[in-house]
Amino acid sequence: MVFSSIIFLCVFMPVTFAVYYLCPAKARNLLLLIASLVFYAWGEPVYIIVMVFCIVFNYFAGRLVFIFKEASMPVKAEISFIISIIADVSILLFFKYTNFFIEIINNTGFKEMPVLHIVLPIGISFYTFQAISYIADVYMGNAKAQKNIINFAMYICMFPQLIAGPVVRYNQISNEIHTRKISGRDTAEGLQKFITGLGKKVIFANQAGELWEEISNITASGSSVLIAWLGAIAYTFQIYFDFSGYSDMASGMGQMLGFKFPENFNYPYQSESITEFWRRWHISLGTWFKEYVYIPLGGSHKGFPRQACNLFIVWTLTGLWHGASWNFIIWGIYFFVLLFMEKCFLLKLLNKIPKITRHIYALFFITAGWIIFACEDLNKLFNYLKTMAGAGVPLFNNYAVYKLYTNILLLLLMAICSTKLPVNIINRLSIKFKLNEIIIFWTKAAFTIILLITSMALIINGSYNPFLYFRF
Amino acid sequence: MQKTYKIYSVIIFLMLSLPGLFIFILPQHNFSSNENRYLNKLPGIKPDEILSGSFQEKVSDAFNDQFFARGFMTGLSTSFKKSLGFKDIGGAYLAKDNYYIEKITDNDISKDQLVKNLMYLSYFATNQEADVYTMLVPSPGTSMEYKLPAFAPFYNAGSVYNTVYTVLGKKGIIDLRKVLKSPGNSNKTSSQDGFYFKTDHHWTLSGAYAAYNEYCKTAGIKPQPYNSFNPVEVTNNFYGTTYSKVLDFTAKPDSIYAINTDQAENAVLICDGKKRTGIYNKEYLNKKDKYSYFFGGNYGRTDIVTGSNTELKLLVLKDSFANSFVPFLLKDYSQITMIDARYYDSGISGIISSGSYDHILILYEINNFAGDKNLYKLLK
C-alpha cells in the first residue's frame, strides 16, 4: 500500500490508529504487527512469505547468539552470528542481484545462462538491513535479544518504515518496543509531520517527477542544454521530496505510535561539500554502513591505504544497495572519488573559496550524480550527460523556454522548501511577534489542513504517483 | 494545550475517515460525464486476483474514482496547478480567450502510420470512377496557433501536410489551413463563435461552413449563403472533450449551432440498420456529449435519403468532424452515405460497387487521420 493513496489515507490509517488508541497498551505490539502484515500483504501478497521467513529465522538466530554469549561461548556465538549474517545477505543477494550477476556472466561470453523470473519483494533491502542490525547489535553486546517473537516481528515489519525506511537500528528503539507513552501532543505533531511529508511527496515530488519524466523521454532533435538541465534539476528535487517526504510520513506515524525514529534528512541541498551532503542525506542508511561495514572493517584506524580501501568498499556497496544495475555502482564509485578527493585536499581548498561557490560546487556534483542514478540504461546516461554538456544541441529552444516559464514557480518553491529557510522564518516571526503556543499551533494546523485537502485533490486527479524508493 | 491537540487530531481523523466511509455507503457511479470516461468500481473478491495484486490495484483505482467529492477535488487540483503557472493540464493547453486546445506534439504523430494511411488512400483513390476529394481538417492547435501559450510546443503541421501532398499529389485535396486560420470571420458567416469550440476538439458550425464553401468550389457545386441554412443555437451549455481533460472550474461553456431546414428535419436515415427521420438527436442536448446532437453520434454506416431533387450521390469516409459538416450538403445530393471505418467492418468496395456514387469525400481531422488504425478497410 502506498501512503499517498486514498485507500491508505481514508481507510487503513484511520482504522489502524483508531483501534491502536482504543486497545490496551499490552496488546498494541500485536495489533501493530497484524496491521503491518495486512499493509505489506496488500502490496506483496505472495512474497510476504520471504519476510515471514526472515523474521522467524532472525528471531531464533538472535536468541542463539545471545544464549551463547551469555554462556561465555564466544566461538559458538561468532559462528552462529556469521551464519545468520550470511543467510540474511544471501536472501538479499538472491532476490535482488541474481539476474544482474547472470547477465554479467552472459556478457563475458563464457557461459549462457537463462535469466530467472524473480520479482524483487517490496522493502527487502530495508527489512534485511534491519535484521542484520539486530543480529549485529546482539552479537556486539549493544542490545539484548528479544524474547517475544511478536515484539521482534513488529520491529522488523512495522508499517511506517517497512518499505522505504528510515533504517531503524534495533538498539535505537529497543526500549520503546516494550514501553512507550503517547501524548496528545505526539499524535497532533505526528499528524502534522505526516501531512507535511504527504505534501512534499504529492505536491512537489509528483509534479517535479512529471516534468523529469517528460523531459527524459524527448528525442535528441527536440533537446537543448537548458532542457537537459531543467530535467536534471527536476529529478534532483523529485528524489529529495519523494524520499524525505516518505521519511517524514514514516516518522510522523512513528511518533503517533509512540516511537521516535531517527532523522533521515537534514536539508541536504544546503550542503557546502559532498562530505557534508552525505551527512545530511539518507542519514539512517549512511549510519548503517558506517556502523556495520566501515567500522568493522577497521574504519580509519588501520592506516591511510586501508582507510581508502574501506571507503571504496562502503561506497561501492552503497551504490549497489540502491539497485542491481551498473549505473548504481558507477554512482557509488563517483561519490567515493569525490569524497576521497575532499578528504585528501579538496575540503581545504574549498574552505578558501567563497561560500556561494562551495554551494554551487556541491549542487553541481549532486545534480550530476542524480542523473547517473536516474539513467539505468548506460547509453541513455551517456547521451543525457552529453546533452547537459552541450554536445550537438542548441543552448536553448522554444520547448525549453516554455518548460522553464511554466515551471519556474514550482522550481523556486521547491528550492526554498528544500532549505531551512521556511522554518527559520516561522521561528523568527513567532519570536518577533511574541506569538503564543496556541496561535503557532493553529497556524500550522490550518496550513496542514489546506495541505491535506490539496494533496488529496492531486492524488484523486493525478495519474503520476510513483514512489522512487520502492524499488530498493 | 492538550485540548487543542485533541481537537486538531479529531478534525484530521474525520477528514480522513469520512470520505473512506462514504465510499462504502454511498452508491457507486458508473460513468463520469464530466470527465467523459467510465469510472472504476469496487471489484468483487477473487482469490487469484488478490494473489496477483490486480484486486488491490482495482480497489485503489476505485477509491480514486468513487471519492464522494471527486468533481470538486479534480477542479481543485486543476486550480492548484494553474496557480503554479502550469499552462497545460491533462494533455490540453490552457489557451487564450478561454480556449482549451489539445496538446499534440511531434512525438504524438506517428509518421509511419500516417504514411501507411496515405498509401491506403492513394491506392483507394486510383481505382475509383467517382471523383475523390480529400479534406484533412487542421488540428485546432494548428489553426489557432496564436491562441496557444507562448512557446508552447505543437507538432509541425507544415511537414505533415507536405507528407500528404507527397503521397497523394494535389488532385482532389481540399486544404483548409488558410480558411480556418482567421478567427471567426463574421461578415461572411455571421457566426457568433470561432471556427472551433473552446471546450471541445471539434469545429463549430462556422468552421464546418467554411469547409463547405471550399468543398463546393472544388466539387463544382454552388455554395449557399450561411444564413440561408437558418442556423440556430441549440444549446449554450456545452462542455466538450478538451474541458474534460482539464476540468477547470473557470471554464465557460460553448454554444452549439445547427442548421434548421426542412430537409434536416425530414431526411430519412438508416443508421446501422435502424431507420429514423431527421438528422438530429435531441436527447443528447440533455447529456454531456452534446456534439452527438448531430446524427446521434457516430455509426459504422449511415445512409441518408435527402429528398433533394438531384441525381448526385455522395459517399463520405469520415470521423466525427463530418457530423456537423454533412448537413450543409443535404441540398446538393439525393443520397449521402457516411462510413466511419472505426465502427464499420464490412468491405467498403462492396458499398461503392452497389452505390454508384458520383463523389467520394474523405473527411478527417488530420491528427485523427494520422493515428487511425482502420484505414486498411478502404481496400477491403
Residue B76 or residue A111, greater confidence = B76
Confidence of residue A364 (pLDDT cuts 50, 70, 90): very high
| Per-residue pLDDT at A270 | 95
Q: What is the pLDDT of residues A251-297, one digit of tens each?
A: 999 999 999 998 899 999 999 999 999 999 999 999 999 989 999 88
Interatomic CA distance for residues B116 and B123, integer angstroms: 11
When the pLDDT of each residue in chain B is averaged and rounded to a whole number, the result is 89
Confidence of residue B25 (pLDDT cuts 50, 70, 90): confident
Residues of A designated as active site: 322
Cβ–Cβ below 8 Å for A441 and B59: no
Confidence of residue B253 (pLDDT cuts 50, 70, 90): very high
Confidence of residue B350 (pLDDT cuts 50, 70, 90): confident
Mean per-residue pLDDT, A392-414: 94
Mean per-residue pLDDT, B284-293: 91
Nearest chain B Cα distance for residue A188, angstroms: 5
Mean per-residue pLDDT, A300-310: 88
A26 has pLDDT over 70: yes
| Per-residue pLDDT at A320 | 92
Mean per-residue pLDDT, A159-166: 87
Strands B231-238 vs B254-259: parallel, antiparallel or unpaired: antiparallel
Q: In 3D, which of A284, A306, A282 has the Cα closest to residue A294? A: A306
Mutation choice for A interface testing from B51, B60, B74 by most A CBs within 10 A: B60
Residue with cell 471519492: B67
Mean per-residue pLDDT, B361-376: 93
| Per-residue pLDDT at A469 | 56
Confidence of residue A466 (pLDDT cuts 50, 70, 90): low
Nearest chain A Cα distance for residue B126, angstroms: 36
One-letter identity of residue A437? E
Q: Is residue B76 within 8 angstroms of chain A, CB to CB?
A: yes
Confidence of residue A467 (pLDDT cuts 50, 70, 90): low
| Per-residue pLDDT at A472 | 55
Give the CA distances from residue B38 to residues B34, B46, B271, B288, in Å, rounded to whole numbers and listed in that order.
Answer: 10, 22, 25, 13
Count of C-beta atoms within a 10 Å radius of residue A34: 14
* C-alpha B223 chain-centroid distance: 26
| Per-residue pLDDT at A143 | 86
B189 has pLDDT over 50: no
Q: Is residue B8 within 8 angstroms of chain A, CB to CB?
A: yes
Q: What is the pLDDT of residues A82-119, one digit of tens each?
A: 999 999 999 999 999 988 888 888 888 777 788 888 88
Confidence of residue A302 (pLDDT cuts 50, 70, 90): confident
Q: In 3D, which of A190, A197, A269 has the Cα closest to residue A2? A: A197
Alpha helices in B37-172 (DSSP H): 47-52, 54-65, 70-84, 111-126, 140-143, 157-168
Q: Is residue A465 within 8 angstroms of chain B, CB to CB?
A: no
Cβ–Cβ below 8 Å for B9 and A184: yes
Q: What is the pLDDT of residues A222-258, one digit of tens each?
A: 889 999 999 999 999 999 999 999 999 999 999 999 9
Residue B339 dihedral angles phi and psi, to the nearest 5°: -120, 125
Q: Is residue B25 within 8 angstroms of chain A, CB to CB?
A: no
Share of chain B above pLDDT 70, in %: 97
Mean per-residue pLDDT, B50-78: 87
Q: Pick from A2, A442, A452: which is nearest to B15 by CB?
A: A452
Residue A244 contacts residue A193 (beta carbons within 8 Å): no
Residue B309 or residue A269, greater confidence = A269
Q: What is the pLDDT of residues B115-148, one digit of tens each?
A: 999 999 999 988 888 999 999 999 999 999 889 9
Residue B86 dihedral angles phi and psi, to the nearest 5°: -65, 140
Give the CA distances from residue B143 to residues A438, B34, B154, B174, in Å, rounded to whole numbers and listed in that order.
Answer: 58, 26, 11, 15
B174 has pLDDT over 90: yes
A75 has pLDDT over 60: yes
CB contacts < 8 Å between A and B, how many?
144
Cβ–Cβ below 8 Å for B76 and A454: yes
Confidence of residue B184 (pLDDT cuts 50, 70, 90): very low
| Per-residue pLDDT at B38 | 82
Residues of A in contact with B56 (CB under 8 A): 1, 42-43, 45
Mean per-residue pLDDT, B181-202: 68
Q: What is the pLDDT of residues B192-219, one digit of tens each?
A: 568 999 999 999 999 999 999 999 999 9
Cβ–Cβ below 8 Å for B150 and A402: yes
Residue A37 contacts residue A109 (beta carbons within 8 Å): no
Cβ within 8 Å of B, A 103-162: none
B167 has pLDDT over 80: yes
When the pLDDT of each residue in chain A is averaged and rounded to a whole number, the result is 91
Residue B258 contacts residue B294 (beta carbons within 8 Å): yes
Nearest chain B Cα distance for residue A53, angstroms: 18
Interatomic CA distance for residues A421 and A412, integer angstroms: 13
Q: Is residue A187 within 8 angstroms of chain B, CB to CB?
A: yes
Q: Is residue B249 within 8 angstroms of chain A, CB to CB?
A: no
C-alpha cell at A425: 522564518
| Per-residue pLDDT at B185 | 46
Confidence of residue B24 (pLDDT cuts 50, 70, 90): confident
Specify which of A431-435, A467-471, B68-72, B288-292 reaches the highest per-range mean pLDDT. Answer: B288-292
| Per-residue pLDDT at B191 | 43
Cβ–Cβ below 8 Å for A405 and B73: no
A387 has pLDDT over 80: yes
Cβ–Cβ below 8 Å for A188 and B5: yes
Cβ within 8 Å of A, B 41-60: 50-51, 53, 56, 59-60
| Per-residue pLDDT at A16 | 96
Count of C-beta atoms within a 10 Å radius of residue A408: 13
